């Protein structure tokens, strides 16, 4: 898997404090598309730190719409979706070569210094569900063939959260090869949602993802985030707050 055949797609909103670590972990050979809705210095930092092989798209939509806009702008065979509040392990891009036969590859998250047990349990959960042939995809860490994303119709724009998991379910149910890759690790360094409650975040994801996987999530309820974004600290403007489009 050649690095120049992988476009990295990142949605951003007021990520000035997070984006430098992410940018520093990206190989220069990979095209980068940032889909931005910021009012802070995010774009200026990106221009200064990674002026080459980078495109910034201004987009006011929610995160699924931002990811979709990035996908439609990309021209490479592979699309790597991630978030501004993580950075990639040093061996991440070398390890991608082990998964060239897969159609969707999803890795795991770790932490450096905070909530280590939570992320270890998250990884164990991903491994358990992968044995049941149920993908647990994180929007911070998955790569998909561009033609596969196009074939399944792209992201569900009704969703304001869990669009990453829903993509994994739909790709797997469409008969494509989905691979869980334990050795593809990103490190989370912004823990605000966990600080608001680990149990709350876990139960929120389990319930919504179960309904999505079982096809029991009515369209009338898909637009709501069930408090995932709307309970964000109003004083911290780097947290996404979207109305579903």
Distance between CA atoms of 74 and 107, rounded to whole angstroms?
21
At 51-61, the pLDDT tens digits run 999 999 999 98
Distance between CA atoms of 51 and 68, rounded to whole angstroms?
23
Lowest-confidence region among 129-138, 193-202, 211-220: 193-202
pTM of the predicted model as reported, rounded to 2 decimal places: 0.85
Where do the structural domains in the chain lie, given as residue ranges? Answer: 3-222
Distance between CA atoms of 222 and 145, rounded to whole angstroms?
26
At 22-65, the pLDDT tens digits run 999 999 999 999 999 999 999 999 999 999 999 999 999 889 99
Question: Which of these CATH numbers, 3.90.550.10, 3.60.40.10, 3.40.50.1700, 3.40.50.720, describes 3-222?
Answer: 3.90.550.10
The predicted pLDDT at position 125 comes to 92
Q: What percent of the chain has a predicted confidence (pLDDT) above 70?
A: 82
Look at residue 128 and tell me whether its pLDDT is greater than 80. Answer: yes
Distance between CA atoms of 115 and 118, rounded to whole angstroms?
5
Task: Sort strands 142-145 and 104-111 into parallel, antiparallel or unpaired.
Answer: antiparallel
Beta-carbon contacts of residue 179 (< 8 Å; ≥ 6 apart): 99, 102, 104, 105, 106
Residue among 161, 144, 184, 149 nearest 230 (CA): 161
Distance between CA atoms of 42 and 17, rounded to whole angstroms?
8
Distance between CA atoms of 11 and 6, rounded to whole angstroms?
16
Sign for the CA dihedral angle at 104, 110, 115, 117 comes to positive
What's 180's DSSP letter? E
212 confidence band (pLDDT: 50, 70, 90): confident
At 71-119, the pLDDT tens digits run 999 999 999 999 999 999 999 999 999 998 999 999 999 987 788 888 8
Look at residue 227 and tell me whether its pLDDT is greater than 70. Answer: no
Instruction: Tell me how crowded residue 26 is: count the other CB atoms within 10 A of its CB.
Output: 22
The predicted pLDDT at position 242 comes to 35
């Amino acid at each position: 898997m050649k690095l120049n055949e992988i476009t990295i797609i990142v949605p951003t909103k007021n990520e000035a404090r997070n984006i430098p670590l992410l940018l520093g972990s990206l190989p220069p050979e990979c095209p980068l598309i940032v889909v931005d809705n910021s009012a802070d210095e995010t774009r200026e930092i990106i221009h200064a730190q990674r002026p080459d092989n980078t495109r910034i798209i201004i987009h006011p939509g929610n995160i699924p719409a931002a990811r979709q806009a990035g996908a439609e702008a990309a021209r490479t065979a592979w699309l790597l979706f991630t978030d501004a509040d993580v950075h990639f392990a040093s061996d991440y891009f070398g390890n991608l070569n082990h998964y060239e036969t897969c159609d969707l590859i999803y890795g795991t998250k770790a932490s450096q210094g905070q909530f280590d047990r939570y992320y270890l349990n998250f990884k164990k959960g991903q491994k358990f569900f992968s044995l049941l042939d149920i993908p647990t995809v994180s929007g911070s860490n998955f790569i998909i063939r561009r033609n596969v994303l196009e074939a399944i119709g792209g992201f569900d724009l009704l969703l304001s959260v869990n669009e990453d998991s829903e993509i994994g379910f739909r790709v797997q149910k469409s008969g494509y090869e989905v691979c869980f890759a334990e050795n593809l690790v990103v490190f989370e360094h912004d823990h605000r949602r966990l600080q608001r409650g680990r149990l709350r975040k876990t139960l929120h994801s389990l319930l919504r993802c179960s309904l999505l996987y079982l096809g029991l999530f009515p369209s009338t309820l898909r637009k709501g985030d069930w408090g995932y974004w709307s309970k964000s600290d109003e004083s911290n403007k780097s947290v996404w707050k979207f109305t579903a489009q």
